[in-house]
Amino acid sequence: MKEKRKKSLLGLFVSYFRPHWKLFLLDVLCAMLIAAIDLSYPLLSRHALNVMLPGQMYRAFFTLIVVVLAAYVLRSLFTYIIAYWGHTFGIRVEADIRKDLYSHFQTMGFDFYDRNRTGQLMSRLTSDLFELTELAHHGPEDLLTSVLTIIGALIVMFTVEWRLALVVATILPIFLAVVVVQRKAMRDASREVKKKIGVINTDIETGLSGIRTAKAFANETMEAARFDAANNQFKTAKRGFHKAMGRFFATMEFFLCILSVAVIAVGGYLIMKGQMNYVDLITFNLYIATFTSPMRKLANFSEMFASGFAGLQRFADVMELTPSIRDAEDAAELQDIRGEIEVDHVTFAYDGDLDVLEDVSLKVRAGETVAVVGPSGGGKTTLCQLVPRFYDVTEGAIRLDGKDVRQVTQQSLRRQIGIVQQDVFLFADSIMENIRYGRPDATDEEVIEAAKKAEIYDDICQMPNGFDTYVGERGTLLSGGQKQRVSIARIFLKNPPVLILDEATSALDSVTEAKIQRAFDTLSEGRTTLIIAHRLSTIRNAERIVVIADGKIAESGSHGELVAAGGMYAALYETQTKVAREDMA
């Protein structure tokens, strides 16, 4: 894909034709045969009118009619092939482009998705590429056949009457010059349309995603107003493009009419002078009619080219983006690790802004359980996101078993780490497949065993379809606790040597939390575990507790040591204990 990115837009587009060149060749060949048939008909008519009918060659005349009918039967067959296989070719090209774009999205780091909204990315994957199917199919075919038809017709016209042909040849370059100018205007307008459509799709996607929140606050009227605003933007989004297209088609129709008038005027004058006969004028008019189709195709090609290349430009713009997180050229595969984590004087800032972490150093022994606590916004989650290299440190280094995480492949690094996040994401699939996501090659029995360890098995058995139960979009058909336990079951199935639990029990009730805590204790045995928690009752058994505040490690020690020290941890613990007593009272 890197080689494709270096090419011009046209070269990039054509490079996607190569895997499907047989279909492309079939499409173009059929189009050329159609052009040949269209060019032959006026010549055959001229011959029939000049030779066959005056010479009373009736058998030859009707034989010619049969041949013409057979040619038009073949023309219909060629048209079918172009319509079916040509569109199939276009769809395959579009699918290949979309595949490369999605693959490139997958290489982008978390910072890319922090900056770009889902609706805009969806537009680039869908609506931006729709016109490429038509451009890939009709573009080369229309351009080639139009040029061949026009040139072929002009050659024949010059052999019939060069003076009349010269009139046509003089008007055509003016028409083509207008096509070029108008095409640029349409292309620029189409590019603006795609930008606006991307924003509109984003607004609609946000509205649909937040529909439950809107209902909870009884804000349907406000959301309807937002949708109306986006919908009204859609109604006007293509106004500039349609104006450019209207100017183009109006100009084209004018030139087509002028062409016919010019031929009749000059042809009539030559007939008056006795320098041309009626049959040749009829032949010229037939060729002018033949001109109409390729000139309209050129007009459609200009519209397709403008729309398609605007989408292709946006595709190329994304493909030229370099992922912020990339494997080093000599990146090694990380295998059979013990799980020792070293945070060595790490400083980190999002997009080069204010530091979130500042000169943080921490060493976690293999198999040790370390809890990371502190006030919100202090940098706890950020620190744990640097370990699997979701972001790269600004300064310092993070090492796993002594190896800098930037010197190993991202996939091998993340295979060694299991993460249970506070914000659980479940796919719109069955419970079985959502758990199996932790290890796609796992058997059903292994999935079931993981569910048991995560204390979700009994809940699943009570569901109508058991493990085949559909969880809904983002798991909306499950309770918060059930979703959390499904995500925990994924980690049991993955069975990694390093665990990161980011508020992993936050959505659970006290009874379920106790069950899960026991399961975590079992899972943590012999594994390096980082636990991010606000509820201090869940991390009292951690071997070490690290308090992070304002991007720095403020305290470190066991639960007893930190309580005895009377610092920040002790204050947090005392506050939570007091609240718990009040709740029980």
Domain range list for the chain: 2-319, 330-416+543-585
Average pLDDT, integer, range 488-511: 79
Closest of 18, 245, 34 to residue 144, by C-alpha: 34
Residues 554 and 217: their CA atoms lie apart, in Å, by 40
pLDDT digits (tens, 9 = 90+) for 280-299: 878 887 777 777 778 777 77
Please tell me which residue, 308 or 371, carries the higher pLDDT value. 371
**Topology classification of domain 2-319:** ABC transporter transmembrane region fold (1.20.1560)
Per-residue confidence (pLDDT) for residue 342, from 0 to 100: 92
Strands of the sheet with 403-404, listed across from one edge: 355-364, 341-349, 395-400, 403-404
CB-based contacts of 341: which residues, under 8 Å, 6+ apart?
Answer: 362, 363, 364, 387, 398, 399, 400, 498, 528, 530
Average pLDDT, integer, range 438-467: 88
Lowest-confidence pick of 136-140, 182-186, 382-386, 464-468: 182-186
CB 530 within 8 A of CB 552: no
Ramachandran angles phi, psi of 567, nearest 5°: -95, -145
The DSSP symbol for 430 reads: B
Residues 35 and 202: their CA atoms lie apart, in Å, by 44
Beta-carbon count within 10 A of 76 CB: 10
Closest of 335, 341, 184, 153 to residue 259, by C-alpha: 153
Could you tell me the sign of the dihedral formed by the alpha carbons of 82, 87, 92, 96, in that order? positive
Per-residue confidence (pLDDT) for residue 217, from 0 to 100: 61
CA angle 387, 389, 395 (to 5 degrees): 85
Average pLDDT, integer, range 402-413: 90
Ramachandran angles phi, psi of 446, nearest 5°: -70, -35
Residue 585 has pLDDT above 80, yes or no: no
Residue 237 has pLDDT above 70, yes or no: no
Closest of 344, 245, 350, 355 to residue 301, by C-alpha: 245
CB 489 within 8 A of CB 466: no
Cross-strand bridge partners of residue 553:
548
Residue 74 has pLDDT above 70, yes or no: yes
**Hey, what amino acid is at 7?**
K
Per-residue confidence (pLDDT) for residue 212, from 0 to 100: 61
Per-residue confidence (pLDDT) for residue 159, from 0 to 100: 82
For 213-240, give one letter per residue: b (16+ CB within 10 A) or e: ebeeeeeeeebeebeeebeeebeebbeb
CB 341 within 8 A of CB 403: no
**Hey, what amino acid is at 198?**
G
Q: What mean pLDDT is reported for the chain?
A: 81
Residue 562 has pLDDT above 80, yes or no: yes
**pLDDT band at residue 127 using 50, 70 and 90 as cut-offs:** confident
Per-residue confidence (pLDDT) for residue 509, from 0 to 100: 65
CA angle 398, 404, 410 (to 5 degrees): 95
Share of the chain above pLDDT 90, in %: 9
CB-based contacts of 206: which residues, under 8 Å, 6+ apart?
Answer: 117, 119
Please tell me which residue, 532 or 521, carries the higher pLDDT value. 532
The alpha carbon of residue 558 and the mean position of all alpha carbons in its chain are separated, in whole angstroms, by 48
CB 470 within 8 A of CB 502: no
Total residues found in the chain within this entry: 585
**pLDDT band at residue 141 using 50, 70 and 90 as cut-offs:** confident
Top-ranked range on mean pLDDT: pick from 350-359, 472-481, 562-571: 562-571
CB 141 within 8 A of CB 86: yes
Per-residue confidence (pLDDT) for residue 512, from 0 to 100: 65
Residue 120 has pLDDT above 90, yes or no: no
Query: What is the rounded end-to-end Cα distance, in angstroms, of the chain?
Result: 65
Please tell me which residue, 510 or 419, carries the higher pLDDT value. 419
pLDDT digits (tens, 9 = 90+) for 171-191: 878 877 777 777 677 767 777
Per-residue confidence (pLDDT) for residue 1, from 0 to 100: 46
Average pLDDT, integer, range 6-22: 81
Q: What is the DSSP string of 498-530?
A: EEEEESTTTTS-HHHHHHHHHHHHHHHTTSEEE
Average pLDDT, integer, range 215-243: 73
Residue 387 has pLDDT above 80, yes or no: yes
Three-state secondary structure along 135-174? HHHHHHHHHHHHHHHHHHHHHHHHHHCHHHHHHHHHHHHH
CA dist 315 to 99, 128, 205, 282, 320, Å?
11, 8, 21, 49, 9
**Hey, what amino acid is at 388?**
P
Residues 341 and 362: their CA atoms lie apart, in Å, by 8
Per-residue confidence (pLDDT) for residue 7, from 0 to 100: 53
Per-residue confidence (pLDDT) for residue 6, from 0 to 100: 41
Residues 559 and 548: their CA atoms lie apart, in Å, by 15
Residue 515 has pLDDT above 70, yes or no: no
At the second CATH level, the architecture of 330-416+543-585 is 3-Layer(aba) Sandwich (3.40)
Share of the chain above pLDDT 70, in %: 90
Per-residue confidence (pLDDT) for residue 5, from 0 to 100: 43
Per-residue confidence (pLDDT) for residue 482, from 0 to 100: 82
Beta-carbon count within 10 A of 162 CB: 10
Residue with token string 């349609």: 242
Average pLDDT, integer, range 498-517: 72
Residues 525 and 527: their CA atoms lie apart, in Å, by 5
**pLDDT band at residue 445 using 50, 70 and 90 as cut-offs:** very high
What 3-state class would DSSP assign to 343? strand
Residues 456 and 434: their CA atoms lie apart, in Å, by 13
Please tell me which residue, 391 or 246, carries the higher pLDDT value. 391
Residue 449 has pLDDT above 50, yes or no: yes
Beta-carbon count within 10 A of 282 CB: 15
Structure tokens at 245: 């297209």
What 3-state class would DSSP assign to 375? coil
Residue 584 has pLDDT above 90, yes or no: no
Average pLDDT, integer, range 45-62: 82
Beta-carbon count within 10 A of 273 CB: 8
